[in-house]
Structure 1
Amino acid sequence: MGDVLLHPWGRGDVESETMLDGLITAAGDPLIALWNPLATADRGDALTWLESRGGDWDRGAGAFFAVLNAVDGVLLGSVTLRWVDRADGLAMIGYWTLPAARGRGVATRTVRAVTDWAFRTAGARRIEIAHAVDNEASCRVAHHCGYLPEGTLRDSHRFGDGEYHDEHLHARLATDPEPAGPAGEPKAC
């Protein structure tokens, strides 16, 4: 991925002031606060969040990656693969990026990398992405990563504004072809 690295959350992050600062910044970002609210508004909350990600790894609940700038280690975002039914190979993927990483293909590249890893190494058979209908950037990422639209989940999730929103459901199967590339505009969600 060249300019970005994936680093497991909760694995050596606790000592990193840069990581804690990044989580606090993420919690204050309006788009993250709306679509992916984090309870990391201060150092104590950020530390607790990091420690719980380590526990999630240990329990096998999923794979949780910080997206870092490869040069200076600054936090750019996060990609999470959560098992819905591990025995059946069903998982969900979620992601967010900080403003400095938006519009640069960071989410697309890292979601593709985690998707490929999940299919080739972790035993995933089907991975789903659900995003709020109004979150058009997330829809573009899903399309660019080869996740096909499957429908609308009505009033399915309460987001950071306290309101329930409809979500679009996208999915990709291990047997689906690799996505062609980020060129071109995806179909509207």
Structure 2
Amino acid sequence: MQPFVLESPAVRLEVPGPADVDAIVEACQDPVLQRFTTVPAPYSRADAQFFLERIVDHGWATGREATWGLRGPGSSLLLGVVSVRLGTRDIGFWTTPAARGRGLMTAAVRLVADWALGDAGLDQLHWEGYVGNDASAAVARRCGFTYTGVGPGMHPGRDGARPLCWKARLRPGDEHFPKQGWPDLTGGVGDPPREWPRADGVDDSARQPQGAPRLPEDS
């Protein structure tokens, strides 16, 4: 699969490359990002280079995972990453601390979801985030994902266990507006994890990740 650009008046999504190493390394030092993702901790330039070569490039070349770097219109500065694993039909994303709260990832996820459920031919797209990751959940909710409950994550965490995750699903034809039924997303990142109804009808099969860890964080 050949990489391609997705863009709207709000954001431009293009494949991250070697020029983005410094931005990726800096972003992955963020304690919040480390808390809610499985990026290596500590995170080094070698980790960023592995991500670009073995995850991004390999994912596109094999057609197993499509990864984009988030940028503002007319800017080369990397503000985040969003990716879709086509085999497990799930989306993950993160933004740099300075770019949060501006609606950029919401715009990016809408673009990627439209592609995944359209040209890519997926019959549904799954989102999951660690319980308590209100910011990532808020993005999914704004993009029209339907909350389906809480259950073990599709992909293992750093310790090899499958973390407890909120789950949601988007299907072709779903409207891109917030749905009822989501947890209260007003808590802060320091709040203790909350528990909600178990996921209903979500495929929790324990597939091993094909590349990058899920990166579910934005505001």
TM-score (norm 1): 0.81
Please give the per-residue CA displacement for 1:142-180, whole angstroms capped at 9, x wherever unaligned. Answer: 11011001111047765469986421110011132x213
Q: Kindly tell me: are residues 105 and 171 of structure 1, through their superposed partners in 2, closer, same or farther at Cα, counting changes over 3 Å?
A: same
Q: CA, structure 1 residues 163+119, in 2 after alignment: closer, same or farther (shift >3 Å)?
A: closer
The answer to which structure has the higher strand fraction is 1
Separation in structure 1 between the aligned mates of residue 155 and residue 118 of structure 2, nearest angstrom: 30
AA paired with 1:56?
Answer: G
Structure 2 unaligned spans of 5+: 1-7, 185-219
1:26 aligns with 2:33: no
| CA distance, structure 1, for counterparts of residue 121 and residue 47 of structure 2 | 32
Q: How far apart are residue 118 of structure 1 and its match?
A: 1.0
TM, length-normalised to structure 2: 0.71
Contact 1:3–1:71 (CA under 8 A) maintained in structure 2: no
Letter in 2 for 1:43: R
Change (3 A) 1:25 1:35: same
> 1:5 and 2:12 equivalent?
yes
1:50 maps onto 2:52 in alignment: yes
Higher helix share: 1
Distance 1:97 1:150, change over 3 A: same
Query: Aligned pair 1:179/2:181, yes or no?
Result: no
Deviation at 1:7, TM superposition (A): 0.7
Counterpart code for 1:5? R
**Aligned counterparts of 2:38 and 2:67: Cα–Cα separation in 1:** 16
SS of match in other structure, 2:74: coil
Aligned position for 1:117: 115
The 1:105–1:160 alpha-carbon spacing in structure 2 relative to 1, beyond 3 Å, is: farther
Give the deviation of 1:105 after TM superposition: 0.6
1:143 is aligned to 141
Out of 58, 71, 75, which is 1:72 matched to?
75
**Match in the other structure for 2:87:** 84
Equivalent residue number for residue 36 of structure 1:
37
SS at match of 2:86: strand
Describe the shift of the 1:64–1:155 C-alpha distance in structure 2 as closer, same or farther (beyond 3 A): closer
> AA paired with 1:63?
A
| 8 A Cα contact 2:144 2:170, kept in partner | yes
The 3 A distance-change label for structure 1 pair 154 and 59 is: closer
Distance 1:26 1:95 in 2: 13
Higher relative contact order (Cα pairs below 8 Å, separated by 6+ residues): 2
Runs of 4+ in structure 1 over 4 Å off: 154-164, 184-187
CA distance in 2, matches of 1:161, 1:101: 29
Q: Which runs of 5+ in 1 are unaligned?
A: 86-90
Bigger drift between 70-79 and 37-46 goes to 37-46
- Give the RMSD, CA atoms, in angstroms: 2.6
Percent of aligned pairs sharing the same letter: 31
Tell me which residue corresponds to 1:108.
106
Which is worse superposed, 71-80 or 154-163? 154-163
CA contact (8 A) 1:154 1:167 kept: yes
For residue 69 of structure 1, report the CA deviation from its aligned partner. 2.6
Q: CA deviation at 1:117?
A: 1.0
Paired residues, number? 175
| SS at structure 1 position matched to 2:81 | strand
